[in-house]
A and B are shown apart, each in its own frame.
Chain A
Amino acid sequence: MAVIEVRDLYKRYGGIDAVAGVSFDVAEGEVYGLLGHNGAGKSTTVEILEGHRRLTSGTVSVLGADPGESGREFRDRIGIVLQTSGVEKQLTIREALRFYGSPSRDPRPIDEVVEMVGLTAKIDARIGTLSGGQRRRLDLALGIIGRPEILFLDEPTTGFDPVARRESWQLIQQLCAGGTTVLLTTHYLDEAEQLADRVGVLAGGRLIAEGTPEQLMASAPNTTISFRLPDGISADQLAVPPDAVVEAGVVRLETEQPTALLAVVAAAAVECGVELVGLSVKRPSLEDVFLQLGDDDHDTEVSR
Chain B
Amino acid sequence: MSWPSAFTLVREQTRYQILTFMRSPVGLFFTIGLPLVMLVLFNALFGDGTVDTPAGSWSVQQFYTGGLAAFTAVSATYTNLVNMVPIRRDDGILKRWRSTPIPPSIYLTGWILGALTVALLGVVLQLTVGVLAYDLTIDASKVPAMILTFVVGVAAFAALGLAVAGLVPNADSAPAVANATILPLAFVSDIFIPLEDPPRWLDLVGDIFPLKPFVNSFQNTLNPLVDSPGFTWDKMAVVAAWGVVGAIIASKTFTWEPSTSGSKRDKRRRHKSPAASADFSG
Contacts and interface: CB of A to CB of B under 8 A. Distances in A.
13 contacts: A52-B98, A72-B103, A75-B101, A79-B99, A80-B99, A85-B92, A85-B96, A86-B267, A90-B19, A90-B24, A99-B15, A100-B96, A103-B4
Contacts of A103: 4, 9, 100-103, 106
Interface string B89-128: 0011101111111110010000000000000000000000
A104 B20 CA distance: 21
Contacts of A86: 88, 91-93, 96, 267
Contact of A76 (B20, B95, B101): B101
Contacts of A282: none
A87 interface: yes
B8 interface: yes
B101 A85 contact: no
Contact of B101 (A50, A91, A104): A104
Contacts of A50: 99
Given A84-B92, A99-B12, A102-B9, A72 B20 contact: no
A105 B93 contact: no
Interface of A: 50, 52, 72-73, 75-76, 78-80, 82, 84-91, 95, 98-100, 102-106, 142, 146
Nearest to B106: A103
Contacts of A90: 19-20, 23-24
Contacts of B37: none
A246 to B, nearest CB: 46
Interface in B195-231: none
Interface in B1-57: 1-4, 8-9, 12-13, 15-16, 19-20, 23-24
Contacts of B12: 98-99, 102
Contacts of B100: 75, 100, 103-104, 146
A91 B93 contact: no
Given A87-B96, A146-B100, 19 more contacts: A52-B95, A72-B101, A75-B99, A78-B99, A80-B99, A82-B96, A85-B93, A86-B93, A86-B267, A90-B19, A91-B23, A99-B12, A100-B100, A102-B8, A103-B9, A103-B100, A104-B100, A105-B101, A106-B1
Nearest to B92: A85
- The 5 residue pairs across chains A and B that have the minimum distance between CB atoms: A86-B91, A85-B92, A90-B23, A103-B102, A76-B101
A75 B24 CA distance: 30
Nearest to A147: B1
Contacts of B98: 52
Contacts of A102: 4, 8-9, 12-13
Nearest to B271: A89
A87 B93 contact: yes
A91 B20 contact: yes
Contacts of B96: 80, 82, 85-87, 100, 142
A87 B98 CA distance: 13
A10 to B, nearest CB: 21
Nearest to B15: A99
Contacts of A88: 20, 88, 93
Contacts of A84: 92, 258
B4 A105 contact: yes
A68 to B, nearest CB: 14
A222 to B, nearest CB: 41
Contacts of A91: 19-20, 23
B114 to A, nearest CB: 12
Interface in B222-260: 257-258
A291 B4 CA distance: 49
A105 B12 CA distance: 14
A180 B66 CA distance: 58
